Amino acid sequence: MKRTKRPFLLKLSSLTLCAALLLTGCGGGGASAGSGSGNQTASGAGGKKTLTFWHIWGSGDSNSTAVAKVIADYETLHPDVKIEVQTFENDAYKTTIRTNVSGDTAPDIYSAWGGGFSKPFVDAGKVLKLDDYLTNEDRDKLVSGALKNFTYDGGVYGLTFGMSCSGLFCNSELFEKYGVPLPKTWEELISAIDTFKASGVIPISTSIKERWVIGMLFEAIALKEAGADQMYATLTKNGGSFSDPAYLDAAKKLMQLEEMGAFNSDAAAISRDEAEVPVKQGQAAMYYMGSWASGSVDAEDSVDAGKFKFIPFPTISGAKGLPTEFNGGGADGILVNAATADPALAADFVKYFTENLSREDYQAGNYLPTYKDAQVDESKISPTTLDIVDATKDASDFVLWWDTLLEGSDVTTYQDALDLMIQKQLTPEQFVEELKKIQP
C-alpha cells in the first residue's frame, strides 16, 4: 500500500507544480502584453471605458513612436478611457482586417486604406459613418482633399492623418554639373534624359520588379495626359473611361522612356530598395517616388543629401493635366466599426488621434499634414520635405494611387497588363484594351 501511494503523491505534486507554472506563466504573459485592467468591455465595471484599436505601426515602423505617443496623450487627457492596442505587420494585416471585418470580429477602431480597399467594408455596412460626429469646425481644420478617399456616396467613413504624393526627386548636383535645367515640360524631360544617358548617369532609377513603383510613373504620365477629373472619374467608375485617348498616349510615352533607355537596365530584376541605392550614391539623376522618400534621400548615407529637389511631373503640351495636380493624397486612415458600443467616444478618439498624429508625422518627415496650421518646428524638418510642402501648397487636386483607388481584382488586371507592356509582350494599344476590361 505504502509503495503505491508514494509515486501517486509524487505524480500529484508534480502535476500541481506544472499547473502552477503554467498558470503563472500565462499570468505573466498577459500582464506584459499590457492589457492589465480587467475591464475588457466598453464602459466596463470599474467605470473605465475601453476601445480596441488595431493598427500596423508596431515597433520597428518609422511611425510607431509617434502613434504610441498620441495614444498615451489621449489616455492622459481622458483617464476614464483605455485604448487597447494590437499591432500587425502591414502585408498580413491586409488579409487579417478583411477577414475580421467580414466576420464581425473587427475591433472598435482600426487602420485601413481609402479608396478601393475600404469600399467593400462600407458597402457591407460594417463601417460607422462619421458625418454626424464631424462639426463644421472639424472640417475646416482639414486641408482640402483630406476626406476625398474616405468619402463614399457622399458620406465620410474615415479620417486620415497624413498625405503623400509622388513627384520627381532631382539630384540638383548632377543637374548643375551637366547644365541641365529641372524639367518642367515633357520635351525638357526627354532632353534631360538624353544628356544624362550620354554622360553615363542613370536618368531615372526605378523598379519594375515591384510593380507599384513603375506603376507610379505611368500614373504620373496618365495624370498629366488625362487631367485629375477625368482620371478620378475613370478609376472610381463614375463617368470616365479608359477609351479616352489620354491613356493610350500615356502608355506610349512610358514605352518611349523605356525604349530610349531612361531607366536603369536592371530595373526588372531589383526591388524598390535596390533602386534607391544609385539615387543615394549620386549615380542617378532622377527618382520618381512618393514624398515619403524625402527621409532616405536626405539620410546620412546619401552622398548628395540636402541637394534633392522635388518637382511635380513635367506637363505635356496640349494635354489636360495641370502642374498643380498630383498623384497621391490621404490614403492611410482610421475607420470606426459600425458595431462599436460607444460610437461618440470612438469618433472622438479618431478625431484626436488623426489631428495629433498628423502633426507628429509631419514633424518626423513621415507624411505631409492633413490638418492645417500644424504647430511644428520647421528647422527640424528635412529640407526635401519642406521642398515638397512648398511644391504642393498650391495643389489643386490629388488622385490616389491606382492600386489603392481601384478594387483588388482591377488592380491585378492593371498591374499585369502594365508588366506585360513594359516587357514588350503587349503593345500600348493592347495594354489599353486590357484596361478597358476593368468594368465600369
Which residues here bind other proteins, judged by CB under 8 A? Answer: 91, 94-95, 98-99, 101-102, 120-121, 123-124, 126, 208-211, 265-270, 403, 407-409, 411-412, 415-416, 419-420, 422-423, 425
Q: Among residues 146 and 406, whose Cβ is nearest to other proteins?
A: 406
Q: How far is the CB of 201 from other proteins (least distance, A)?
A: 16
CA 364 → CA 89, 304, 311, 369, 381, distances in Å? 21, 20, 21, 11, 7
> Which is nearer to other proteins, 121 or 169 (by Cβ)?
121
CB-CB neighbours of 264 under 10 Å: 23
Determine if residue 43 is left, alpha or beta; phi over 0 gives left, psi from -120 to 50 gives alpha, anything else beta.
left
List, in order, residues 6 or more apart from 336 with CB less than 8 Å away.
108, 109, 127, 128, 130, 158, 343, 346, 347, 350
Nearest-approach distance from CB 312 to other proteins, in angstroms: 26
Q: Which three cell numbers stand for residue 15?
A: 502535476
Comparison of 268 and 381: residue with beta carbon closer to other proteins: 268
Smallest distance from other proteins to CB 209, Å: 5
Return the number of the residue (68 or 420) whose C-beta is nearest other proteins. Answer: 420
CB of 424 to other proteins, least distance (A): 8
Q: How far is the CB of 112 from other proteins (least distance, A)?
A: 12
Q: Which is nearer to other proteins, 153 or 373 (CB)?
A: 153
Q: How far is the CB of 204 from other proteins (least distance, A)?
A: 16
Q: What three-state secondary structure class fits 163?
A: strand
CB of 40 to other proteins, least distance (A): 26
Give the integer Cα–Cα distance in Å for 420 and 416: 6
Q: From the centroid of its chain, how far is CA 18?
A: 47
Residue with the three cell numbers 491585378: 412
Nearest by Cα to 126 from 95, 155, 101: 101
Nearer to other proteins, 339 or 386 (CB): 339
> Quick check: 416 and 395 in contact, CB under 8 A?
no
Kindly tell me which of 13 and 95 has the beta carbon lying closer to other proteins: 95
Retrieve residue 219's grid coordinates: 500614373
> What does the alpha-carbon distance between residue 156 and residue 350 come to, in Å, rounded to a whole number?
13
3-state helix, strand, coil split of the chain in percent (to 5) is 50, 15, 35
User: Which lies closer to other proteins via its Cβ, residue 33 or residue 124?
Assistant: 124
The CB-of-298 to other proteins minimum distance in angstroms stands at 26
The DSSP output letter for 313 is P
Beta carbon of residue 401, minimum distance to other proteins (angstroms, whole number) = 11
Q: How far apart (Å, rounded) are the C-alpha atoms in residues 254 and 225?
A: 12
Question: Which DSSP string do the residues of 73-91 spell out, in sequence order?
Answer: HHHHH-TTEEEEEEE--HH
Among 288, 313, 162, smallest CA distance to 215 is for 288
Kindly tell me which of 109 and 422 has the beta carbon lying closer to other proteins: 422
